[in-house]
Amino acid sequence: MTGEAQPASALPAVAPERPSRAPYYLVAPACLLFIAIVLVPIAMTVLLSFHDWGQYKGIERVFILKNWREVVTDSYFLEVFVRTFRIAVLVTLVCAVLGSIEAYILNRMGSPWRAIFLVVVLGPLLISVVARTLGWALLFGGTSGVVNQALIGLGVLSQPIPFMFTETGVVVALSHVLMPFMVLSVWAALQRLEPQVESAAASLGASQGTILWRIVLPQIAPGILAGAIIVFALAASAFATPSIIGGRRLKVASTLAYDEFLNTLNWPLGAAVAVLLLIALVLIIVSANRLVEWRYREMFR
Amino acid sequence: MSRNGPLALAFHTLFVIFMLAPIVVVCFVAFTPEAYLSFPTTRWSLRWFRAIADYPEFVAAFWQSVWLGALSSAIAVAFSVPAALAIARHRFAGREVLLTLFQSPLMIPHVVLGIAFLRFFTEIGLAGTFFGLVISHIVIVFPFALRLTLASATGMNPQIEQAAVSLGASEATVLRRITLPLILPGLVSGWALAFINSFDEVTMTVFIATPGTETLPVRMFLYIQDNIDPLVTSVSACVIVVTVAALVALDRLYGLEALLIGRGKGEQ
């Protein structure tokens, strides 16, 4: 909107905001929908986690701490939650390192490769998670699987290691499933980068390594952290991938809750596991967001 | 005019192989002529694609997913339009809280939503109904619909509407003739992104789908839980091909990057 100056009195660009009920009427339908279909069911689930359950009596509407005591004290549940968060941390690290490097390489590509490979790397995000996980199950396929043969061929491994039904396999497959979120987040941060700053550093004699470490990385760090939060949250609550690759034995929090609900039919206990997962994730995400905002408040202004 | 060195290109090549390998392998195995999982080496066969027709559960689940996705995405877009107009144009108390509420299905684990819906629908007598599936999918795809309707409502010049009003158009006319046509590309893309997400959703749906109302990913997931055979790879290959076709179309129409980040082509 440069160029001809507008007469200030002719048309106010935006009507001065006066308190009006209009926005409330406009958001009311969606708001009511969310209260009825999201908040009420979640409140009911929290309530359910305090109910009692027995093999023959079913769900009993009482208020007891039995399920919560079991979830918090039983070492089996602790083991599952520790495994869930261990997998989530590893997946986040793999995605952060590989995804950031790939986003940086993509950003330096010329036309048309940049656009093509961006679609290749981000596209899998929209392809069915079940189909992609099936692909990993086919690639892992026992100790003689394609992945093992390739890794031995490349000299990375000396002997085959099991991927199916192991945490390693779950981490690899989940990293693939969630990688696009990280690339997307770092890519968005790279778009805000001024290319001249890199050139300036180079002209002042900085080496490529120094430029990456001192100029690029600090500027895209908020993007990496934002991507890491998304990837962590999705990895910790992933269901289909750990279920297919991990099998029935290697349980994570979400597959455990599924089992309690649809196999054991102990709904109150399953609800307690799910609510605990929700609380843990909300706490982690909110504090991580706070930390990022506090650390980078200068940049967000 | 690539500025990447050989090391970077080697990394890039391995990365692309990593991203594509599981998708390619599914499509490849689907063409096996054997009765077991194997790579077609000498002979290619459409045997397992023909076999899909003999397994009516997959076909029924496919149509279930299509109708569910189309309907819930359309309703989600309809709900998102007034909300997007309010959020884009007004600063009102509770605006940030509402935005967080509307984005919450992205943050709440889908397992938790699945459990919550199962409990809720059992209590109000909607368990195992198509209606229950639709309202649960409206909620989970709503953030995607809102993201793109909001982007186009924000990008729209309010002076065009003011001009229409000053020329004597009624509010209804402005909405029908000015506002909706201007944000239509956002609505279409929002519907498409919502549809893809509904079509893919498995974690939440597996809790509330019953044998009569299973969606395609749920059927595939439950099938894989029992055994992995070439039939499920051919079904997956079909899903992949359809998704890739939709993806290419969307990329041409709107720009995939913009679609995923939430900005339209040509908008700042």
Residue A202 pLDDT class (50, 70, 90 cuts): confident
Say if residue A19's pLDDT is above 70. no
- The confidence band for A6, taking pLDDT boundaries of 50, 70 and 90, is very low
Closest Cβ opposite residue A277 in set B104, B112, B162: B112
Residue type, B17: I
Q: B36-61 burial, b for 16+ CB within 10 Å, e for fewer?
A: ebeeeeeeeeebbbeebeeeeebeeb
Q: Please report residues of B whose CB lies closer than 8 A to that of A254.
A: 109, 111, 203
State mean pLDDT over A279-301.
83
Which DSSP category does B163 fall into? Answer: H
What HEC string does chain A produce? CCCCCCCCCCCCCCCCCCCCCHHHHHHHHHHHHHHHHHHHHHHHHHHHCCCEEECCCEEECCCCCHHHHHHHHCHHHHHHHHHHHHHHHHHHHHHHHHHHHHHHHHHHCCCCHHHHHHHHHHHHHHCCHHHHHHHHHHHHCCCCCHHHHHHHHCCCCCCCCCCCCCHHHHHHHHHHHHHHHHHHHHHHHHHCCCHHHHHHHHHCCCCHHHHHHHHHHHHHHHHHHHHHHHHHHHHHCCCHHHHHHHCCCCCCHHHHHHHHHHCCCCHHHHHHHHHHHHHHHHHHHHHHHHHHHHHCHHHHC
Q: For A143-184, how does the pLDDT look when each residue is reduced to its tens digit (9 = 90+)? A: 668 888 888 888 888 888 888 899 999 999 999 999 999 999
CA distance B229 to B35: 8
Shortest Cα distance from A75 to chain B (angstroms)?
A: 22
User: Which of B112, B146, B238 is the best substitution to test chain A (most A C-beta atoms within 10 A)?
Assistant: B112
Collapsing DSSP to helix, strand or coil, B121 comes out as helix
Residue A245's pLDDT band, with cuts at 50, 70 and 90, is very high
> What's CA B162's distance to the chain center, in Å?
35
Report d(CA B268, CA B254) in Å as an integer.
14
Smallest CA–CA distance, residue A82 to chain B, in Å, is 17
pLDDT in tens, A56-96: 888 888 899 999 999 999 999 999 999 999 999 999 999 99
CA distances from A38 to A51, A52, A78, B73 (A): 20, 24, 28, 17
A-B C-beta contacts closer than 8 Å = 261
Q: Is the pLDDT of residue B158 over 60?
A: yes
Tokens 């930390």 locate to A291
Average pLDDT over residues B46-54: 90
User: What Cα–Cα distance (Å) separates residue A248 from each residue in A89, A129, A173?
Assistant: 22, 18, 17
If one counts the domains in chain A, the total is 1
Residue A111 φ/ψ, nearest 5 degrees: -70, 145
Q: What is the pLDDT of residue A186?
A: 95
Q: Cβ contact (<8 Å) for A30 and B19? A: no
**What is the C-alpha separation between B258 and B162, in angstroms, rounded?**
28
We find that the CATH architecture of domain B55-261 is Orthogonal Bundle (1.10)
- The reply to whether A46 falls in a domain is no
**Chain A nearest C-alpha distance from B144 (Å):** 12
Domain boundaries in chain B?
A: 55-261
Reported ipTM: the value is 0.89
Nearest CA in chain A to B230: A138
The CATH number of residue A243's host domain is 1.10.3720.10
Tens of pLDDT along A254-277?
A: 999 999 998 889 999 999 999 999
Range(s) of the domain holding residue A251: 83-300
Mean pLDDT of chain B: 89
Mean pLDDT of B135-164: 92
Residue B223's H or E segment, with its range, is helix B216-226
* Nearest C-alpha in A relative to B22: A135
pLDDT above 60 for A227: yes
Contact call for residues A227 and A186 (beta carbons, < 8 A): yes
Domain for residue A205, yes or no? yes
Asked if B115 contacts B202 with a C-beta cutoff of 8 angstroms, the reply is: no
Q: What is the pLDDT of residues B26-37, one digit of tens each?
A: 999 999 888 878
* pLDDT at res. A17: 52
Q: Is A42 contained in some domain?
A: no
Distance CA A173, CA A133 (A): 7
Residue B162 is given by DSSP the state H
For B183, the token pair is: 């944000």
Selected residue of A126, A244, A254, A264 to mutate for chain B interface (largest B Cβ count, 10 A): A126
CA atoms lying within 13 Å on the CB side of residue B172: 0
pLDDT at res. A12: 44
Test A125 with B207 for CB contact under 8 angstroms: no
Judge whether residue B87 has pLDDT over 70. Answer: yes
Which amino acid would we find at residue B211? P
Q: How far apart are CA A68 and CA A204, in angstroms?
A: 61
Q: What is the pLDDT of residue A5?
A: 43
Which residues lie closer than 8 Å to A84 by C-beta, 6 or more apart? A236, A252, A253, A254, A277
Do residues B141 and B72 lie in contact, with contact meaning Cβ atoms separated by under 8 Å? yes
CA B36 to mean position of chain CA atoms: 32
Chain B: give the shortest CA distance to residue A300, in Å: 17
**Token digits of residue A13:** 């660009």
Is the pLDDT confidence value at A110 over 50?
A: yes
Number of neighbours of residue B202 by Cβ within 10 angstroms: 24
B104 to A38: CB separation less than 8 angstroms, yes or no: yes
Q: Which has more confidence, A114 or A299?
A: A114
Q: Is the pLDDT of residue B98 over 50?
A: yes
pLDDT computed for residue B97 by the predictor: 92
Q: Identify the burial level of A139 via C-beta atoms within 10 angstroms of its C-beta, where 0-12 means exposed, 13-18 middle and 19 or more buried.
A: buried
Distance of CA A247 to the CA centre of its chain: 22
Identify the CA nearest to B206 among candidates B118, B100, B87, B109. Answer: B118
Does residue A15 carry a pLDDT above 90?
no
In a domain, A18, yes or no: no
Cα–Cα separations (whole angstroms), residue A137 to A73, A170, A245, B29, B239: 34, 10, 6, 12, 17
Mean confidence (pLDDT) of chain A:
88
Partner-chain residue, chosen from B4, B119, B199, that has the shortest CB–CB distance to A45: B119
* Residue B220 · residue B235 · CB < 8 Å: yes
Over residues B125-146, mean pLDDT: 95
Kindly report, residue by residue over B100-127, the tens digit of the pLDDT.
999 999 889 999 999 999 999 999 999 8
Whether residue A112 has a cis bond before it, omega within 30° of 0: yes
- Say how many C-beta atoms besides its own lie within 10 A of residue A71's C-beta: 20
Closest CA to A181 of B99, B139, B261, B144: B261
Ranges A36-45, A144-153, A241-250, B54-63: which has the least confidence:
A144-153
**Can you tell me the distance from the alpha carbon of B52 to that of A220, in angstroms, rounded to the nearest whole number?**
47
Rounded to whole angstroms, how far apart are CA atoms B258 and B268? Answer: 10
Proportion of chain B above pLDDT 90, given as a percent:
59
Tell the burial category of A242 from Cβ atoms under 10 Å away from its Cβ (0-12, 13-18, 19+): buried
Judged by CB atoms closer than 8 Å, whether chains meet at B159 and A13 is answered as yes
Q: Which residue of A has its CA nearest to B112?
A: A274
| Option in B136, B236, B244 nearest A134 (CB) | B236
